[in-house]
Amino acid sequence: MSANGKMFSFVMDPKSPVIKQVWASAMELSEQCVVEGLSGAVPPTEIFMDQDLGQQDKDEIIMLLGREINRLSDFEIESKYKDAVIMNLRGELAELSQRLSETAACGTTARQSDRSALKLQGLDEDNDLRQKEIESMKSQIDALQKGYSQVLSQTLADRNSEIALLKNEGEHLKRDHAITSGMVTSLQKDMTARDEQVQQLKEEVSQLKSQNKEKEYQLEVLGSRCSVLKEELRKEEAQKECREAQEKELKLCRSQMEDMEKELKKLREELKKNSSSQSTNSKTLREKSKVEEKLQEDSRRKLLQLQEMGNRETLIKTNLERAVGQLEYFRSQVIKATFGKAKPFRDKPVTDQQACMRESCSSSDLKKEVGFLQHLQLSPPVSGLQKAVVDILRVSLSWLEETEQLLKDLSIQLSGSDKGFSLYLIYLLEQYKKIMSQTQELKLQVSDSRETQQFLQQEHLAEKEKLNKEKLEQEEKLKVRIKQLTEEKKVLETTIAQERNKAKEALEGEKRRTREMESHLVSQKKVLEDSVAHEKRKVREVLEAERRKTQDLENQLTQQKEVSESINYERLKIRDTLEKEKRRIQDLENRLTKQKEEIDSKGQKEDILNNKLNTALAMVEEAQQMKTAESLKAENLSLKLNETVGELKMTKIKMTTLEERLRLQQQSMKTLHDERESQKLGFEGEIMVYKEQIKQHSKTIVSLEERLFLVSQHHRKIEGEIATLKENELAQKERVLQEPSAGPPVDSSTKESACDHLIDDLLTAQKEILSQQEVIMRLRTDLNQAHGRMSDLRGELSEKQKIELNRQVALVQQQSSELSMLKVKVAQSNSMVEKKDRELRLLREALRTSQEKHRPHPSLEQKSRNLSQRCDISLQIEPVHPDTFSSLHEEQSFSDLGAKCKGSRHEEIIQQQKKALSELRVRVKELEKTNSSKRLQLAQNGQLPQTGLFSTGSNLATEKSMKTDASDALELSEKLYIDMSRTLGSLMNIKDMSGHVNLKYLSPKDREKVNHLRQKDLDLVFDKIAQLKTRLQRKEELLRGCEQELEQLRQSKVSIQMYQTQLAKLEDDVYKEAEEKALLKEALERTEQLLFQERKLNRAFKQQKVNHWPLRKIGQLTGSGGCTLLIPVLGRQRQVDLYEFKASLLYRMSSRTARATQETLSQKTKKKKEIRIPERPP
């Protein structure tokens, strides 16, 4: 729907490519009317585009479409111009609302420039008025310090005039607000008309979008089909990569099998090395003996070091005992000094307490001191002063706590050393300076943002001109693009046919490859199973061989055990050998377990390889299934492609004409969407501001209710005091009537005046309560109004500007009302101060007159003292509360104003409020100082004369005696302190002790200085004690470490002795075994020699038997009978020779063994001397 009343509808048939364009109205644009922006009277026409139309008809349709495109472009330009006008109007409205919120002094009209200048002048006048108010407040503070009555009367008159001026200004502001509300309603009507036009344009855009979405959907379908084809090609490439990865895994399996074979070879080599390592163990034992000799030498050195450490320990212990004795002596002196005869806290003068009050401290420290003062038990003349001081300290404590809470609210962190009211104010000033700098930076940023907005507007106009030029260029490009698309379709059809053929060939080749891979994997699986079985057999054989070896070793051990049972003397030797062999067997068993674990790990690796093979086979099967599925998909895709090619031809022609329109429309929609989002964010921010305001109102209501409760308690206390005073007055009157000397009527008149003043105080307090209740009711109404505004905001968005104006007007009214309230409260506080001063003067005069005229009984003295003390205390306390309440209320009102103020001048208002807060705090401090000084003067001037006039001579004597006792106690305490400090300085070598001065004859300023010096001395002493403690702790730690080392050395001594005995046994066994082996070798050699000699002799006898020539000679000599006699003689001679030979051999053997044993014994003694171990008895 266009602005001229025309409607366009494009209908698309999915079956036949027909474009239907309908003109619903009875008007049609001609070419001239399009250029001039006028519409001609042409009857409605409907044009249908069919496939059977001729070229002339098509050309006519194209011309009509071109005209419509030009017409739509004109409408778009008009809509953009209107959008720009709307944006400018909205900007003007925003500026008007900001000016109203900042100053609440808008002009009658927003269009005229003269009235805007008047508004700025009004704002400057407001600033000047506020600055004048601030200056007047400062002058009032100075006047309060100098004088009371004259200055306050002048200031009240000035303030009344200012209040009248402010009322007139408020009436002017109300009139201006009524005028601005009328202007805003007119602007809102214009906005509604323009919003209706925008909605019509949006409906046209939505229709175009729906058509574009249908065409985009068709394009997405075609794109998805093309993406599916691309994904199928990618999957084929991924399958090829998977096959290559499987081949790589098979190669890795083969390499792992080869590694397994190499590891088996390594295990066999390790078994051989184990046998060689057993031989090396014997060598290591000899080396260990040498190492043990060195250990003995080291142990002796350590013994000497231990002796030296013991000497050092004794010296350290003596030093520690001396230090402990000195500390105990120091402690005893400190206890005597602190808890001696006198307690200086009770008898200190008031000047010392004032010096403590001037020192900087935190709220927690002040609380502790106040508690300490309360619990002090003092005599009745000093107890009144005690109560007054406690009340003053409580007031200062409340101020300190409030300042600390303010610092915590401002998120200012304080260190432990930062204490005192002055430091807190310094922190607040620093925070105020930071906020001022931030506000200046924000102002600069706002000015920069305005400049950037102007620059962006200029750029936006330039971009519009560029877009119009680009439209014409893009229309020409579209015609060229249509021709290119027709050519590309033909090329795509040819490429698709070629790709189909290639895909079929690739599928057949991959099927062949998969079959070959399956056969190859089956063969590899069989080979792997055979190799694994062969390796398992080998490992089993190795394990069986090792088991046999272990069995042989066990048999040998059993044999050795049998030998040990038979030989008692050699039991020790065999036990040692058995232990060694057991260790070796354990080592062998450990190695066997390691080998078993390695075999298990190899088996696990084989299982992993089998699993991998199974997974590879499964992957191959899945690949085959995927190929079959892909072949089916390819066939389906080929059918779908034929269908999509026909649809592409129809859609591309339609999409080219509408792409540019869509872009322009999308840009316009984006701008509208951004505007809506910005509006939403603005509404959300305003809602958050309202919520914060509601929270602050609730907090103020709670605080005011708390104040009401406190004020009510205070008034109850005053009423109770009044009742007690009346009862005391009645009792005194009865006593005075009974006595002969009756008091004058002046006392009764003074007391009645005091009661009247107290009643006046009650009435003023009740008025204050009523005023605070009114404030609470106002705040509750404000809360209800805020809730109503929240509901309006959540409703219709078109009423936003009205709500903003109402809110800003309400804020201005609240500010003016709060300013008036503050001024009223300041006036009330000043009037209360004047009343209290007058009451104090009247009471003093009455008391003096009553004291001068007659002095009552001593029984009435104490009651009169108590009454005067109560009156003084009540008079000292009562002027504090209204000031504190007024200052607190003023601070909270200023904080509420700072939370409520919003707009472009938000920062300036916050700065002004912060300045006012700082000035109020300065004023409160000055009032505190003046009140505290006045109270002390009153206490000294009012109470001391009472006690002086009412007390008798006995009281003066007791006071003098108390003063003398206090001076004596001061002298003793000062002497003790000086002696203590000197002894501590001499003991701890502290030369900077500067507080050795007597406080008795010093002024308060000098006493403060001396106190500071003494505190420094105490800090030095504490630091020195802390150093001594750390040194003692370090020495104790060193002693503990030495004791632990000594215990370790003792344990090492025992272990060394055990090792020495074991070494001696091992050496004896080794030497005995070596001797036995040497003796056995020598005996074997000798037996071999004897056997060799006997063989020689046997051979010689055999040769003699063979040679008969000597027998023949004997036979010739003796005849035939002599032969029988010679044979036995020769046998006897042979036996004798053999016995003699054996005897000689045994003698030689015994002599050689004796020599060998002597040599071995001499060697042992030499080695034992080298080791320095005592010899055993033979």
**SS3 letters across 994-1058:** CCCCCCCCCCHHHHHHHHHHHHHHHHHHHHHHHHHHHHHHHHHHHHHHHHHHHHHHHHHHHHHHH
d(CA 647, CA 219): 10
> Would you say residue 1085 has pLDDT above 80?
yes
Q: Is residue 654 part of a domain?
A: yes
Res 255: pLDDT: 75
- If phi > 0 it is left, if psi is from -120 to 50 it is alpha, else beta; for residue 29 that is beta
| Percent of residues, the chain, with pLDDT higher than 70 | 54
> Would you say residue 787 has pLDDT above 60?
yes
Q: Is residue 1045 part of a domain?
A: no
| DSSP code, position 23 | E
Weakest mean pLDDT among 223-227, 309-313, 555-559, 855-859: 855-859
Alpha carbon of 974 to those of 341, 384, 987, 1021, 1094: distances in Å?
A: 13, 29, 20, 18, 122
Res 504: pLDDT: 74
Tell me which H or E stretch contains 12.
strand 8-12
Are 811 and 856 contained in the same domain? yes
Weakest mean pLDDT among 353-362, 423-432, 524-533, 858-867: 858-867
> Would you say residue 147 has pLDDT above 60?
no
d(CA 1078, CA 842): 134
Are 727 and 640 contained in the same domain? no
Most confident of 402-406, 860-864, 1156-1160: 402-406
Which of 906, 926, 959 is at the close of a domain?
906
Q: Which residues of 662-680 are buried (b: 16+ CB within 10 A; e: fewer)?
A: beebeebeeeeeeeeeeee
Res 353: pLDDT: 42
Domain of 61 in residue numbering reads as 8-103
d(CA 274, CA 269): 9
> Would you say residue 344 has pLDDT above 70?
no
Q: Is residue 118 part of a domain?
A: no
d(CA 643, CA 709): 88
Weakest mean pLDDT among 685-694, 746-755, 891-900, 1040-1049: 891-900
Count other C-beta atoms under 10 Å from residue 641's C-beta: 19
> Would you say residue 1096 has pLDDT above 80?
yes
The residue type of 682 is G
pLDDT bin (cut points 50, 70, 90) of residue 83 is confident
> Taking a C-beta distance cutoff of 8 angstroms, is the pair 626, 277 a contact?
no
Give Cβ neighbours of residue 1176 (< 8 Å, ≥ 6 apart).
1068
pLDDT bin (cut points 50, 70, 90) of residue 549 is confident
Res 38: pLDDT: 37
Res 889: pLDDT: 45
> Would you say residue 1105 has pLDDT above 60?
yes
Residues 317-325 have a mean pLDDT of 69
pLDDT bin (cut points 50, 70, 90) of residue 509 is confident
The SS3 of residue 47 is: strand
d(CA 203, CA 2): 10
Are 654 and 726 contained in the same domain? no
pLDDT bin (cut points 50, 70, 90) of residue 886 is very low
Q: Is residue 740 part of a domain?
A: no
Are 476 and 620 contained in the same domain? yes
Res 534: pLDDT: 78
> Would you say residue 884 has pLDDT above 50?
no
Please name which of 78, 80, 82, 94 lies closest in space to residue 187, comparing C-alpha atoms: 94
> Taking a C-beta distance cutoff of 8 angstroms, is the pair 831, 144 a contact?
no
Are 624 and 703 contained in the same domain? no
> Would you say residue 749 has pLDDT above 60?
no
Over the stretch 1004-1042, which tens digit does the pLDDT of each residue have?
A: 788 888 888 888 888 888 888 888 888 888 888 888 887
Give Cβ neighbours of residue 1149 (< 8 Å, ≥ 6 apart).
1082, 1083, 1086
Which of 853, 887, 906 is at the close of a domain?
906
Domain count, the chain: 4
The residue type of 744 is P
The residue type of 802 is K
> Taking a C-beta distance cutoff of 8 angstroms, is the pair 984, 366 a contact?
no
The residue type of 599 is I
| DSSP code, position 1003 | -
Res 933: pLDDT: 54
- C-alpha 691, offset from chain centre: 30
Res 328: pLDDT: 74
Res 111: pLDDT: 55
Which of 72, 103, 134 is at the close of a domain?
103
- Token pair of 738, please? 């009974």
> Taking a C-beta distance cutoff of 8 angstroms, is the pair 834, 148 a contact?
yes
Q: Is residue 510 part of a domain?
A: yes
The residue type of 750 is T
- C-alpha 952, offset from chain centre: 72
Res 313: pLDDT: 66
> Would you say residue 853 has pLDDT above 60?
no
Q: Which residues of 800-817 are buried (b: 16+ CB within 10 A; e: fewer)?
A: bbebbbbbbbbbbebbbe
Residues 422-432 have a mean pLDDT of 73
> Would you say residue 797 has pLDDT above 60?
no
Res 1055: pLDDT: 76
Res 497: pLDDT: 73
Please name which of 137, 289, 293, 209 lies closest in space to residue 917, comparing C-alpha atoms: 137
| Percent of residues, the chain, with pLDDT higher than 90 | 0
- Token pair of 211, please? 């058509």
Res 356: pLDDT: 47
Please name which of 579, 580, 583, 560 lies closest in space to residue 570, comparing C-alpha atoms: 560
> Would you say residue 1062 has pLDDT above 60?
yes
Are 637 and 717 contained in the same domain? no
Res 1125: pLDDT: 39
d(CA 619, CA 462): 63
Are 519 and 650 contained in the same domain? yes
> Would you say residue 16 has pLDDT above 50?
no
> Taking a C-beta distance cutoff of 8 angstroms, is the pair 844, 750 a contact?
no
Count other C-beta atoms under 10 Å from residue 863's C-beta: 15
pLDDT bin (cut points 50, 70, 90) of residue 23 is very low
Residues 683-712 have a mean pLDDT of 73
> Would you say residue 586 has pLDDT above 70?
yes
pTM of the model: 0.20
pLDDT bin (cut points 50, 70, 90) of residue 1080 is confident
The SS3 of residue 737 is: helix
Q: Is residue 1009 part of a domain?
A: no
Over the stretch 599-629, which tens digit does the pLDDT of each residue have?
A: 777 777 777 777 776 776 777 677 667 767 7
Count other C-beta atoms under 10 Å from residue 246's C-beta: 20
Between 354 and 981, the more confident residue is 981
Please name which of 173, 1065, 76, 49 lies closest in space to residue 660, comparing C-alpha atoms: 76
> In the predicted model, what is the mean pLDDT of the chain?
67
Weakest mean pLDDT among 879-883, 911-915, 976-980: 879-883
- If phi > 0 it is left, if psi is from -120 to 50 it is alpha, else beta; for residue 28 that is beta
Q: Which residue shows structure tokens 């200052």? A: 887
Residues 755-766 have a mean pLDDT of 68
Phi/psi for 104 (5° steps) reads 60, 30
Res 343: pLDDT: 40
Are 729 and 594 contained in the same domain? no
> Would you say residue 441 has pLDDT above 70?
yes
Between 47 and 506, the more confident residue is 506
pLDDT bin (cut points 50, 70, 90) of residue 124 is low
> Taking a C-beta distance cutoff of 8 angstroms, is the pair 1011, 975 a contact?
no
Are 648 and 560 contained in the same domain? yes
> Taking a C-beta distance cutoff of 8 angstroms, is the pair 615, 250 a contact?
no
Alpha carbon of 137 to those of 129, 822, 854, 1048: distances in Å?
A: 12, 11, 48, 83
Are 508 and 601 contained in the same domain? yes
> Would you say residue 806 has pLDDT above 60?
yes
Weakest mean pLDDT among 166-175, 259-268, 853-862, 955-964: 853-862
> Taking a C-beta distance cutoff of 8 angstroms, is the pair 641, 496 a contact?
yes
Over the stretch 654-695, which tens digit does the pLDDT of each residue have?
A: 666 666 776 777 777 777 778 777 777 877 777 777 677 777
Are 792 and 712 contained in the same domain? yes
Q: Which residue shows structure tokens 């000031």? A: 883
- Token pair of 908, please? 């300036």
Q: Is residue 336 part of a domain?
A: no
- For the chain, the straight-line distance linking the first and the last C-alpha, in angstroms and rounded, comes to 134
Q: Is residue 158 part of a domain?
A: no
The residue type of 243 is R
DSSP string, 403-437: HHHHHHHTT----SS--SHHHHHHHHHHHHHHHHH
Res 641: pLDDT: 65
Radius of gyration of the chain (CA): 60
Burial class (CB in 10 A: 0-12, 13-18, 19+), 1077: exposed
Please name which of 666, 678, 478, 659 lies closest in space to residue 76, comparing C-alpha atoms: 666
Over the stretch 1035-1058, which tens digit does the pLDDT of each residue have?
A: 888 888 878 888 887 887 787 778
Weakest mean pLDDT among 98-112, 345-359, 1034-1048, 1093-1107: 345-359
- Token pair of 829, please? 């506080």
pLDDT bin (cut points 50, 70, 90) of residue 249 is confident
Over the stretch 207-231, which tens digit does the pLDDT of each residue have?
A: 877 877 777 777 777 777 777 877 8
d(CA 666, CA 668): 5
d(CA 1136, CA 1142): 10
Are 512 and 572 contained in the same domain? yes
Between 1023 and 464, the more confident residue is 1023
Residues 877-901 have a mean pLDDT of 43
- Token pair of 333, please? 């002196």
Give Cβ neighbours of residue 588 (< 8 Å, ≥ 6 apart).
274, 546, 550
